[in-house]
Amino acid sequence: MKLLFIGDIVGAPGRKAVKEVLPDLRARHDLDVVIANGENSAGGNGITPDKAADIFAAGVDIITCGDHLWDQRDVIGLLDSEPRFVRPINYPPGTPGQGSTVLEREGLPPVGIINAQGRTFMRGDLENPFLAVREEVKRLAPKAPVIFVDFHAEATSEKIAMGRMLDGEVSAVVGTHTHVQTADEIIFPGGTAFLCDAGFTGPHDSVLGRDWEPVVQRFLTSQPHRFPVAKSRVLLQGVVIEVDGATGRAMAVERVSEGLAE
């Protein structure tokens, strides 16, 4: 089976890229499952039920999130009642929403999806993601032969360590959050596909999806600035992973960086 994971969708340009590029990718790669990180889909900050509906309508099966989870008040609608929305699992017990889900579809093995958030160079108030993910993999493994982990983290070391810990336990570990696609795709010896960062889906004539001029001003002046979502050179970025549905082992991993016609 083939799975596409789409890196952080940024604003309206990112949503447009998913809508317009995904059908072609689906045909070309014969995709079975599409997972996307949606933490920046609402104007760059967070996600709302409306924006999630757009993304689902474009063909995404499951949306994951990250540190921008709480940027939009309306996210609570997704946390409370959207079974296709997954937030980082390492929030304290009692936090609304779910840190994983299992996608069941006719003709496919059940696919577990776990989202976790790193702690190195990030807000440090979440639980240990390594312990949380290890526990969750144990819980999901008996019912889902294929498990995908979106590890939303800043440090390459933390992400690689997560991939190594889970080698042979899950089908793939892919990083998000830095918005810069890395070129280190690999299948570890135990059969787990890994990529440090999937990149982002949105305008790349920018700093991580925002107009670059105010970001430069911010660094020059140390004063706050507004960071509007940029407009041009829109790319859908992510990774296609081919998995043996019976064993859960990854067989191929291929980065995607696909332009939207302007």
**Binds Fe ion (CB under 5 A): choice among 61, 67, 211, 242:** 67
Instruction: Mark the segment that binds Fe ion (CB under 5 A) among 2-10, 139-147, 218-226, 248-256.
Output: 2-10
Number of helices (H), then strands (E), in the chain: 6, 13
Whichever of 6 and 22 has its CB closer to Fe ion, that residue is 6
**Binds Fe ion (CB under 5 A): choice among 1, 4, 6, 8:** 8
Within 8 A by CB and 6+ apart from 215, the residues are 207, 225, 227
Whichever of 140 and 201 has its CB closer to Fe ion, that residue is 201
**Binds Fe ion (CB under 5 A): choice among 15, 51, 87, 177:** 177
- 206 part of the interface to Fe ion, by CB under 5 A: no
Whichever of 67 and 158 has its CB closer to Fe ion, that residue is 67
CB of 122 to Fe ion, least distance (A): 8
Residue 187 to residue 165: CA distance in whole angstroms: 13
What are the structure tokens assigned to 157, written together? 């070391």
Sole residue written with tokens 């509906």? 53
Whichever of 40 and 181 has its CB closer to Fe ion, that residue is 40
Q: Helix 49-57 vs helix 11-29: angle between axes, to the nearest 10 degrees?
A: 30
- Phi and psi at 186, nearest 5°, equal -160, 155
C-alpha distances (whole Å) from 181 to each of 43, 58, 184, 198, 227 are 21, 22, 9, 5, 21
Strand partners, 112: 102, 147
The question of whether 68 is a catalytic residue gets the answer yes
What are the structure tokens assigned to 102, written together? 């299992």
Helix or strand or coil: residue 1?
coil
Instruction: Mark the segment that binds Fe ion (CB under 5 A) among 11-19, 28-36, 135-143, 173-181.
Output: 173-181
CB of 32 to Fe ion, least distance (A): 25
**Binds Fe ion (CB under 5 A): choice among 66, 109, 112, 191:** 66
Within 8 A by CB and 6+ apart from 63, the residues are 35, 36, 37, 38, 47, 52, 55, 56, 78, 84, 85, 86
Whichever of 8 and 82 has its CB closer to Fe ion, that residue is 8
**Binds Fe ion (CB under 5 A): choice among 40, 117, 201, 237:** 40
Catalytic residue among 68, 177, 179, 204: 68
Binding site for Fe ion (CB under 5 A): 8, 39-40, 66-67, 177
List active site positions: 68
